[in-house]
Structure 1
Amino acid sequence: MEKKKFSMPTAYTILIGLIVVVALLTWIVPAGQYETTEIDGDQVPISGTYEQIERTPQNLFDVIKAPATGFQDAVDVALFILIVGGFLGVVMKTGAIDAGISRVTHILKGREKIMIPILMVLFGIGGTTYGMAEETIAFYPLLIPIFVAAGYDTVTAVAVIMLGAGAGVLASTVNPFATGIASGFADVSLGQGILLRIVMLVIIETAAILYVIRYAERVRKDPTKSLTYSTREEDRKFFLSSKGTDGNDFPELTGRGKIILVLFAITFLVMIYGVIPFADMGITFLPTLNWWFTELGSLFLIMAIIIGIVGGLGEKDLVGSFVDGAMDLLGVAFIVGISRGITVVMNAGNITATILNLGEKTLASTGNIAFTLLTYLFYIPMSFLIPSTSGLATLSMPIMAPLGDFAGVTRDVVITAYQSASGLVNLITPTSAVVMGGIAIGRISYDKWVKFVLKFLAIIFVISIISLIVGALGIL
């Protein structure tokens, strides 16, 4: 009898398994808490006040409830994803995207490679300035068909977005959700340490671009080199709507189609503008809208209606295409909710403070270089447990930053260590809705994404270590 080949479980199974593991840890790891003080509406732990409390182990019923509770906590993100799916469904129904893809692939025939650095730089700018992460989910359904039509695979398209923005977030320069919040809790200015972070941004973003181009060109020249070669034809049919693989069977780009594409582009530009916190970045001549998922969802909803009307869709076609588009991303919305369930179990079990206290005790008495590197290594598992950069900064920086004073390390270096570790982990962790959502849209299994990104993680790990040593020595 032939042995059954091992098949990697789906994202849902992996995430539920992690919920079970974290629940088991709440029976093993002591529960604890810090005294807190309120700063700008956030409850911030006070260094040296950790104490163990009675265990609150999570039982089977808690595990069963976690995905639903996580979905409730992440309902804003999940609803945004569904509305974006509906928006894209309407746009696709008009045929403008198909025609646009045909025009782009025709113009760039033989030069498709230039799309990769241009797009990755743009995503990197978004990542480093305002922490572009969840917002990238809207771009996957847009860009994947373009890359597939150009002869690349879905891994290439996902990597352009995820590694492009991820490299920017990892080397955040003025990102208020990572660097800004951490700087506030560390009591240093946002600009302190920015030179080191700019150098890291240039090096890591360049490394990401070269890494993706190398893989992409290998796949374009020989499709069998693709990590998703086994599903290549299926992916092409799915993302190219059963049209010719050379783009010749796409509809002609009419004047109405051009207007729709302009409205489509305006939607994304307004989204990007709406989430950039200009005031926190010291930019006063541009108004800060402070938009988030409620406003963004409303934007995509109203633009779906406008584009449907411009595209000549009747009421039934408009509503039907919106619902069908939302259904296409329903699985992604579920993944977002389930991944949030991991954090729900961990917080309910009160083990986060215990892990943080371990770092506080371990790092306080080391030298400057050792402290910096150990801080970076400490933040890697912490980032796995708390994938939110702002949440991790709020929880840990009031304790970790003062520890650097005793080790002779400036607080901005502690901030850089935290965001570098968090940025690295958030390119691969299954607790991140951005990672799991992105690869789900790209129809890429988690094991294949890990196989693709692992060497790049090793590269940026080394770059980060060298950069942090430079920072600890005060060279930059």
Structure 2
Amino acid sequence: MDKTPETPAKRQFRFPTAFTILFGLIILVAALTWIVPAGQYQREMNEALDREVPVAGTYAETEPNPQGITDVLMAPIAGLYDPDSYQANAIDVAVFVLVIGGFIGVVAASGAINAGIGHAMTALAGREKWMIPVLMGLFALGGTTYGMAEETLAFYMLLIPIMIAARYDAVTAVAIILLGAGVGVLGSTVNAFATVIASDAAGIPFTRGLVLRLAILVLCWLACVIYVMRYAEKVRRDPSKSLVYDMKARNEAHFLSGHQGDKTEFTTIHKIVLSIFGLTFLVMVWGVLMGGWWMGEMSALFLGSAILVGLVVRPGEKAFVDSFVDGARDLLGVALIIGLARGIVVIMDAGRITDTILHWAEMSVAGLGEVAFINVMYWLQVLMSFFVPSSSGLAVLSMPIMAPVADFAGVGRDLVVTAYQSANGLVNLINPTFAVVMGALAIGRVPYERWLRFMWPLLVILTVIIMACLSIGALIA
């Protein structure tokens, strides 16, 4: 029997929580607004994008607007609804997360999830590891086609208990979803929120460079699948190898509360509830792809499904409301993290240093050869992605400036688009300013520093793949 240490023998350094990390970054960026010169590009309306974009060659220093204590305290709040941010308002994402929590709480209270896990583990006995490439393939498909990101938050509470019951850990479950969808965005092919917007802003058809992006997608997806499967099997053979081994008992109690494996009877009611559960996710994907849905419609869908489950199970009005509220309460921290993460961009924009950083990037690639140019461009996009994690926001901000510079280096603008989306996708696998990353880790109860320990070797592998592909693309263009 495994002994799982829950309390260290002596007091050790404890890595700060996600809340502290993000608030510290807000303070750091606010401090930069006192040091970095303020500046702005002139902007003009781009009819194809239906928004204003910066105009190359128009950067000028402007009156500084350093951010003070009041601005720092307001940033997490403004991050939820600031209309001037490069990112979409986050209040709708926060509400979506809370409604998902309520929906999961109602379904979990019915006993259907626990019974379904036991039934699934019996059916998959000996074949659990093949869930990893299949699921990562499906999430990658969502990422490469429509930029699946915030929508993935709905899947964690479903997959984590299944992976823990299969003797893996929470890191494995988070990696399947976060890396699956993330590598799809990294290798976007027809993603309207990355490839299409960036190509339009660069003034080229989005189909140009498609073959190279597809190669990056396949190679990076394969690397991620092999990496996750190796880690998962290592944990299954020896649980002490898990990066969250010290949290094993607590995570099992949290995610498998009441789970009795195949001893739990899998009733007709359970099957109906899980059918509603699965159908809800299918309708969500259909709504996003075909119906133009966003967070409001998806929130309404999960609310309606929670009510439908309540009508099927009939737990009573009070029990239903209690389970919904308790489920929403479990994800309240995630909703708050979203505001904190987006508060960083609010501070940058208000402090007028976003365009200055972009201008520095523009100047740093002038006069470089093809291969050097595209690789430096990649690393500049890595840097900017940290401050502007939104794929569409970064595309609109950087492409009108950086794409024309490629003409002087003899590099195709499609390569600049590929460098941008690959860099943005890579950074958003670990980016603390990206609400999806911090939200996923909060749901999975995976400390941020443990996720970095898990990710750093893979980040090196993915970077080598991307830089090699970009260099080859520059040489044969």
TM-score (norm 1): 0.95
What are the within-5 Å matches in structure 2 for residues 22-33 of structure 1?
22-33=29-40
1:188 and 2:177 are equivalent in the alignment: no
Cα distance per residue 1:28-67 (max 9 Å; x no partner): 0000000100113311000000000011100111111111
Q: Indicate the residue corresponding to 1:282 in structure 2.
A: none
Q: Output the amino acid matched with 1:214.
A: R
- Report the number of matched residues: 460
Report how far residue 474 of structure 1 moved. 2.8
1:96 and 2:105 are equivalent in the alignment: no
Contact 2:22 2:341 in 1 (8 A): yes
1:262 and 2:243 are equivalent in the alignment: no
Q: Output the amino acid matched with 1:307.
A: V
Report how far residue 364 of structure 1 moved. 2.8
Residue of structure 2 aligned with 1:45, choices 51, 54, 57: 54
Report how far residue 258 of structure 1 moved. 1.3
Q: Output the amino acid matched with 1:64.
A: L
Q: Output the amino acid matched with 1:61.
A: T
Q: Indicate the residue corresponding to 1:273 in structure 2.
A: 286
Q: Distance in 2 between matches of 1:160 and 1:307?
A: 27
Q: Distance in 2 between matches of 1:273 and 1:369?
A: 41
Cα distance change of structure 1 residues 474 and 273 upon mapping to structure 2, 3 Å threshold? farther
Cα distance per residue 1:55-107 (max 9 Å; x no partner): 11001111111111113341111000000000111111111111111111111
1:355 and 2:357 are equivalent in the alignment: yes
Q: Distance in 2 between matches of 1:95 and 1:396?
A: 49
Cα distance per residue 1:235-255 (max 9 Å; x no partner): 1111001434xx134x32222
Q: Output the amino acid matched with 1:449.
A: W
RMSD over equivalenced CA pairs, Å: 1.2
What are the within-5 Å matches in structure 2 for residues 68-467 of structure 1?
68-72=77-81, 73-244=89-260, 247-249=261-263, 251-276=264-289, 288-467=290-469
Q: Distance in 1 between matches of 2:215 and 2:131?
A: 24
Q: Distance in 2 between matches of 1:344 and 1:355?
A: 15
Provide structure 1 residue ranges, at least 5 long, that are not aligned to the other structure. Answer: 277-287
User: Which range moved further: 257-266 or 100-109?
Assistant: 257-266
Residue of structure 2 aligned with 1:21, choices 14, 24, 28: 28
Q: Indicate the residue corresponding to 2:15 in structure 1.
A: 8
Task: Please give the secondary structure, in 1, of the residue aligned with 2:476.
Answer: coil
Contact 1:236 1:242 in 2 (8 A): no
Q: Output the amino acid matched with 2:79.
A: G
Contact 1:128 1:174 in 2 (8 A): yes
Contact 2:114 2:259 in 1 (8 A): no
Q: Output the amino acid matched with 2:268.
A: G
Cα distance per residue 1:366-398 (max 9 Å; x no partner): 111111011001001100000000000001101
Contact 1:120 1:161 in 2 (8 A): yes
Contact 1:335 1:437 in 2 (8 A): yes
Q: Distance in 2 between matches of 1:387 and 1:462?
A: 21
The percentage of counterpart residues that share the same residue type is: 55
Q: Indicate the residue corresponding to 1:62 in structure 2.
A: 71
Task: Please give the secondary structure, in 2, of the residue aligned with 1:43.
Answer: strand
Task: Please give the secondary structure, in 2, of the residue aligned with 1:38.
Answer: strand
Q: Output the amino acid matched with 2:285.
A: I
Displacement over 6 Å in runs of 4+? none
Task: Please give the secondary structure, in 2, of the residue aligned with 1:127.
Answer: helix
Report how far residue 361 of structure 1 moved. 1.4
Q: Distance in 2 between matches of 1:39 and 1:258?
A: 50
Provide structure 2 residue ranges, at least 5 long, that are not aligned to the other structure. Answer: 1-8, 82-88
Q: Output the amino acid matched with 2:361.
A: G
Contact 1:383 1:421 in 2 (8 A): yes
Contact 1:81 1:329 in 2 (8 A): yes
Q: Output the amino acid matched with 1:209.
A: V
Contact 2:115 2:259 in 1 (8 A): no
Q: Distance in 1 between matches of 2:216 and 2:235?
A: 29
Report how far residue 11 of structure 1 moved. 0.5
Contact 2:114 2:258 in 1 (8 A): no
Task: Please give the secondary structure, in 1, of the residue aligned with 2:155.
Answer: helix
Q: Distance in 1 between matches of 2:54 and 2:155?
A: 37
Report how far residue 6 of structure 1 moved. 1.0
Contact 1:237 1:243 in 2 (8 A): no
Q: Distance in 2 between matches of 1:308 and 1:354?
A: 53
Report how far residue 4 of structure 1 moved. 4.1
Contact 1:67 1:338 in 2 (8 A): yes
Report how far residue 363 of structure 1 moved. 1.3
Q: Output the amino acid matched with 1:53.
A: T
